[in-house]
Amino acid sequence: MTSQRTSSRGSRGRRALWPVVPLAVSLAAVGLGVAQAAPADPVPVTGVRAVTCVDRVFAGMTGPQRVGQLFMGGVNASLPDQKRLQVLRQYHVGSVFLAGRSKSGTRATKSLADGLQAKADTVAGHRVGLLVSTDQEGGQVQVLSGPGFSTIPSGLVQGSWSTSKLRSSAALWAKQLKAAGVNLNLAPVTDVVPSSLGRDNAPIGRYDREYGHTATTVASHSGAFAAGFAQSKVLATLKHFPGLGYVRGNTDTTANVVDSVTTGSSASITPFRSGIKAGAPFVMISLATYSRIDAKHRAVFSSTVIQKLLRTSLGFRGVVVSDDLGNAVAVRSVLPADRALAFLNAGGDQILTVEPNLIPAMAKAVQARMTQNPAFRLKVDQSIHRILAAKQKAGLLYCG
């Protein structure tokens, strides 16, 4: 995520052939997005692998509950809007993003998070917990502050530290988030901003969000940050794949942002590659277009970027989350429903929208496409399994 949005707004597993459990979505569910379809019976798995906790939770869900897992909706961290919260509940949204700025401290944030968790959906009498995320990078991008939260320095300052100091500091920052009820951080920034561009790079360099100006420094320090979070059992996110370091425009505020430098084998991909090898559970996809990778599609809508480069070439098996598909100017020309469909069809898993009021149109489109297209439904089923697996890692699923 970029700083503009913030100021206004499971470990890697082996690839598995998920059992296809049909979504029992009624016509009413397609039309309204809120119908409580009956849970589908799980398909027996023979000769592949044992049925897992994730499979059981998935099988017990209604169609709308499953679709809701695909979304991460924005919640103002200091003053939540009740009408928007109702949209999140109505559409069974499985993850939230604490946006904006809050100086209320850990206790008040925990109260907010607990209130959100109390309204999360239940399956077979057990609550399926929410992923509660935020942007807690440091410097000018720190959503949560106040009593109980450290003042985190900028990425550039963190990049000047030893990796051992950064790891231990990140472990402390993660403990603070955990105490506040946050279980997922949309950080670390894994973008390499060349020194020749520096602060002329609007999304990252202008705000000192990068760890350094070489792939080596960014790889070592984003890795140390992520390792500290893993130590404290808070999920981390590598962003913004395949990198925002070589652009000038900020995708939050600018249309048609293009990177004409990065290729699939560029050195700036190295920090993502090393983070994935270390077991990063989430990767966020950029909204820019990479003309030397896929000139015809924004990265977030590109199967070349997500499937070929991230999944196949780099071997990522975790959750692919979008950058903001709600308010960002980069996608304003695309209808909200088409944003959701294009991202999922390209291989993405979790749709982040800082504006929850777009979720109804998105969810209805996804439900309709799933009933019409078995191949799309299979992709979505796999995405939901990945998200549920991340929730299991975060202790959010009942597996008794």
Query: How far is the CA of 168 from the CAs of 21, 95, 147, 225, 322, in angstroms?
Result: 43, 27, 20, 8, 29
For residue 164, give both structure tokens.
């051992």
Among candidate residues 109, 103, 100, 95, the one with its CA nearest the CA of residue 135: 100
75: which strand partners? 98
Per-residue pLDDT at 336: 98
Coil vs helix vs strand at 143: coil
| 229, 174 Cβ separation under 8 angstroms | yes
User: Quick check: pTM over 0.85?
Assistant: yes
Q: Give the integer Cα–Cα distance in Å for 244 and 266.
A: 13
| Superfamily name with CATH number, domain 3-393 | Glycoside hydrolase, family 3, N-terminal domain (3.20.20.300)
Residue 143 amino acid letter: V
- How far is the first Cα of the chain from the last one, in angstroms, to the nearest whole number? 36
Q: Give the integer Cα–Cα distance in Å for 220 and 236.
A: 15
Kindly report, residue by residue over 345-364, the tens digit of the pLDDT: 999 999 999 999 999 999 99
| 203, 256 Cβ separation under 8 angstroms | no
| 226 φ, ψ (degrees, to nearest 5) | -65, -40
Per-residue pLDDT at 1: 59
| 349 φ, ψ (degrees, to nearest 5) | -115, -50
Q: Among all chains, which residue has been given the structure tokens 């909200």?
A: 336
Q: Give the integer Cα–Cα distance in Å for 83 and 211.
A: 38
Where along the chain do its domains lie?
3-393
Task: For CA atoms 58, 183, 73, 334, give the dihedral sign.
Answer: negative
Coil vs helix vs strand at 230: helix
Query: How far is the CA of 371 from the CAs of 261, 367, 375, 380, 399, in angstroms?
Result: 40, 7, 10, 11, 29
Low-confidence ranges of the chain (pLDDT < 70): 1-49
Q: Give the integer Cα–Cα distance in Å for 329 and 338.
A: 15
Task: For CA atoms 341, 356, 134, 151, give the dihedral sign.
Answer: positive
The angle formed by the CA atoms of residues 345, 350 and 141, to the nearest 5 degrees, is: 130
16 C-beta neighbours (distance < 10 Å), count: 16
96: DSSP letter: E
Per-residue pLDDT at 21: 38
| 112, 137 Cβ separation under 8 angstroms | no
Per-residue pLDDT at 50: 79
- The alpha helices in 232-373, defined as continuous H runs, are 270-277, 303, 336-345, 359-372
